Amino acid sequence: MFESSSVPFSSIEEALQRIKRGEMVVVVDDEHRENEGDLTLAAESVTPEAINFMATYGRGLICVALEGSLLDKLQIPLMVKDNSSPFETAFCISVEARSGTTTGISAADRSRTIQTLINPQSKAYDFVKPGHMFPLRAKPGGVLMRTGQTEASVDLARLAGCHPSGVICEIMNADGTMARLPDLIAFCQKHHLLMVTVADLVAYRLSKEPLVKYLKIETKETYWGTLQIHHFESLLDGGKHLAMVLGDLSKTPEPLVRVHLETIPDDLFNGGSLGNSFGLAMDHLQKEGAGVLVYLRRHAKTQGVIEETLVPPTSMNDKDIGVGAQILRHLGISNMRLLARKETKYSGLKGFGLSITRVEIFK
C-alpha cells in the first residue's frame, strides 16, 4: 500500500475543502487493487469545462457515481445481473438527458446529463437509453463496504456537504498506458491538484463512523476450550457476526487471526478436526494457545437458509473485509498473523489500522 509519509498525499480534510469549492482532486486506490488514480469531482459542481478537462487530460472513461436509491427512482438498472469483473464495478445502462442535448457526447451534453441525473425533479422519462454517460452504482456504506473510486467519490461529496454523487475519470498517460504513482504525482503537480488515497478516506470515516455495533459477550466451554464469544451486528445490513477469542490476547503483540465466512453445512456437520476450515482453524488456535476466529455470517436475508450457503465463498469481498477489520479493531488488534488456506492479499487494510505481519497457511 502507498505510504503517505513518503508520497505527497494530502489529508482528507484538505480534499473535502477542495471538493466543497467545486474543484477536482485525484483519488488513488490500493496498489493491490486497480492501482490507479481518478480525477474526482462532486457531481453538483460539473461544468462543460470540467468534462473537457477530464476528457483531454484524464483520458479515461468518464462516469458518474450515484447512490442506488436515486438510480432506482430513475429506473436505471445495472448493465448486467451477474457482475464478473474483478472488482465488481457496478456499471449501469448508459444514459442521456432527453432534453438539452444534441449528439450526447460533447462536454456540454455530458455535463447536462449529469446535472439532470442529480436534479431532484428528474424522472425516468427524462433520460434515453443507451447514451454517452455511464452511471455507476455505489454500494451502501461507501468505502467502508467497498474500497473503490466509485464509493470514494460519493463519500467525498457527501462529507463535503454536497449532493452524494461524483464524477470520476481514470487518469491515463499520453501513450495510452495507465498512470501509476510517479505519473500521478507529476500530473497533480502540473495541474495543481491534491491527491488522496482511498485508504485514508476509510481511516477518516472509521474515526467518525461505526460500522458494527457491539452486542454482548458470553463464555462457552467448547471442544477447543473456553471461548470468549463477542457478538456484533452490522449497522449497514443487520448481519450478526461473532468473534471467538481463545486465551489472553494481551500476551501476544501479533495474535493469530482467522476470518471465516459462514458455510452452514460444513460448519455444522463437520466439527472438530474432521477437515473443514472452521474446525482446522480452531485446532490451530488451540495449539497456539491464544487467537481469534472472526465468524462472518452471510447476508442477513439468507441467514437460516441452508440452500443459500451450500457453496463455500471463494474469497472475501470488501464488505467482509470492512466488517471483519472493525471487529478486530474493537478487540484491540492492530498487528496480526493471518491464518489462511492460501497466500492472500487484502486491499485497504491500512485504512482500518490493521497490518498483517505474516500469513500462516493451514491445510
Indicate if the pLDDT at residue 4 is higher than 60. Answer: no
The answer to whether 262 and 299 have CB atoms below 8 angstroms apart is no
Q: What is the pLDDT of residue 211?
A: 79
Residue holding cell 463512523?
Answer: 209
Question: 12-206, which class in CATH?
Answer: alpha beta
More confidently predicted of 249 and 275 = 249
Which CATH number does 212-361 carry?
A: 3.40.50.10990
pLDDT in tens, 7-45: 489 999 999 999 999 999 999 987 655 578 999 999 999
What pLDDT was estimated at residue 85? Answer: 84
pLDDT at 188: 95
The pLDDT value recorded for residue 31 is 63
**Per mean pLDDT, which of 197-206, 269-278, 279-288, 301-310 is the most reliable?**
279-288
Residues of the chain with CATH 3.90.870.10: 12-206
pLDDT at 353: 84
Whether pLDDT at 260 is above 50: yes
| pLDDT, tens digit, 9 for 90 and up, residues 218-235 | 999 999 999 999 999 998
Mean pLDDT of the chain: 88
Picking from 346, 344, 345, 340, the residue whose alpha carbon sits closest to that of residue 361 is 340
pLDDT at 178: 95
Amino acid (one-letter) located at 190? K
Phi, psi of 111 (to 5 degrees): -65, -40
Q: Would you say the C-alpha torsion 27, 29, 31, 36 has a positive or negative sign?
A: negative
What pLDDT is attached to residue 30? 72
Cell 494530502, located at residue: 10
**pLDDT digits over 43-92, tens only?**
999 999 999 999 999 999 999 999 999 999 999 999 998 888 888 899 99
pLDDT at 242: 97
Name the more confident of 311 and 113. Answer: 113
pLDDT score of 305 more than 50: no
Q: Strand 240-246 to strand 225-234: parallel, antiparallel, or no bridges (unpaired)?
A: antiparallel
pLDDT of residue 267: 59
Q: Which pLDDT score is estimated for 272?
A: 44
- For residue 50, give the C-alpha cell: 470540467
- pLDDT of amino acid 322: 79
pLDDT digits (tens, 9 = 90+) for 175-212: 999 999 999 999 999 999 999 999 899 888 877 888 79
User: Is 311 a residue whose pLDDT tops 70?
Assistant: no
Numbered ranges of CATH 3.40.50.10990 in the chain:
212-361
Q: 147 Cβ partners below 8 Å, 6+ apart?
A: 29, 30, 33, 198, 199, 202, 318, 322, 347, 348, 351
Residue 286 has pLDDT above 80, yes or no: yes
Specify the amino acid at residue 78.
L
The residue with greater pLDDT, 167 or 148, is 167
The three-class DSSP label of residue 298 is coil
Query: Is residue 297 scored above 90 in pLDDT?
Result: no
Residues 18, 363: Cα–Cα separation, whole Å = 50
Name the one residue in this structure whose C-alpha cell is 464478473: 84
The answer to whether 282 touches 256, Cβ cutoff 8 Å, is: no
